[in-house]
Amino acid sequence: MVTGGARGIGAAIARHAVDQGASVAVLDLLEDRGRATATELDGLFVRVDLADCAGTAAAMATAIAGLGGIDVLVNAAGVLRLGPLLDTTPADWDAVFAVNTRAMLITMQAAATAMIAAGTGGRIVNLASMAAKDGGANEGAYAASKAAVLALTRAAALEWGCHSIRVNAICPGYVLTEMGAATRTDDDVAAWTARSPLGRLASPDDVANVACFLASDEASYLTGEAVNVTGGMMTH
């Protein structure tokens, strides 16, 4: 199950999962794009507004029932609001946290409850950000929400490991997706690229490969981790 799976990193993760034999449910607010991605993957689409707590819980129940259970949850949905801290309003803060952090708690609770009931364990992968560790001027609410994702991931790993549920996070660096496209410039892209020893920015597939690894049996002894996918921009 992939939240934010209609496009970008989420869609790439869904495609890689299907290539590896998974049946996928795509949860997203973007109905046309979400249905198109799910149809392409012979999967299930469930529309959800992750800012709506009750709606998120209901969407999870629908998706779990539609799949006949859940083995893997990938929380890839997120929102980005840019602006100086002095201009960040409580409403801005709450809107970012509602989707980036609070909704993740609800989806994780639903998935873990189903996994525990099935007795077969499971894997949860949460998309955080390099900003969770590196901070970020003019993205204070976003960076704080992603740092909270890391704390939530560690807490879940500690609580649910006894049920054979592994919970890890990914901290991508700069990925050229539709999120943020309206605010970035060619100069921004050049400056970001120069920060990587590899001399390039990430593609959605770079992140999807790591997500699918963390969801696989090959990562069976990894939990509570926050894996950097930054092309060397961050090495701790």
pLDDT-wise least confident of 67-76, 145-154, 181-190: 181-190
Q: What is the pLDDT of residue 135?
A: 85
Q: Which CB contacts under 8 angstroms, 24+ apart, belong to 80-89? A: 80/139, 80/142, 80/179, 80/180, 81/139, 81/141, 81/142, 82/138, 82/139, 82/142, 82/183, 83/138, 84/137, 84/138, 85/140, 88/140, 88/141
Span 12-44, pLDDT tens digits: 999 999 999 999 999 999 999 999 999 999 999
Q: By the 8 A CB rule, do 213 and 219 touch? A: yes
Asked whether the predicted pLDDT for residue 177 surpasses 80, the reply is no
- Residues annotated as catalytic are 142
Res 180 pLDDT > 70: no
**Where do the domains of the chain lie?**
2-228
| pLDDT bucket at 181, cuts 50 / 70 / 90 | low
* Averaged pLDDT for residues 96-106: 98
User: Taking the C-alpha atoms of 203, 23, 146 and 46 in order, what is their torsion angle to the nearest 10 degrees?
Assistant: 110
Higher pLDDT, 24 or 183: 24
Q: Which fold has domain 2-228?
A: Rossmann fold (3.40.50)
Task: Report the chain's mean pLDDT, rounded to a whole number.
Answer: 95
DSSP state of 27: E
In this model, does residue 114 exceed pLDDT 90? Answer: yes
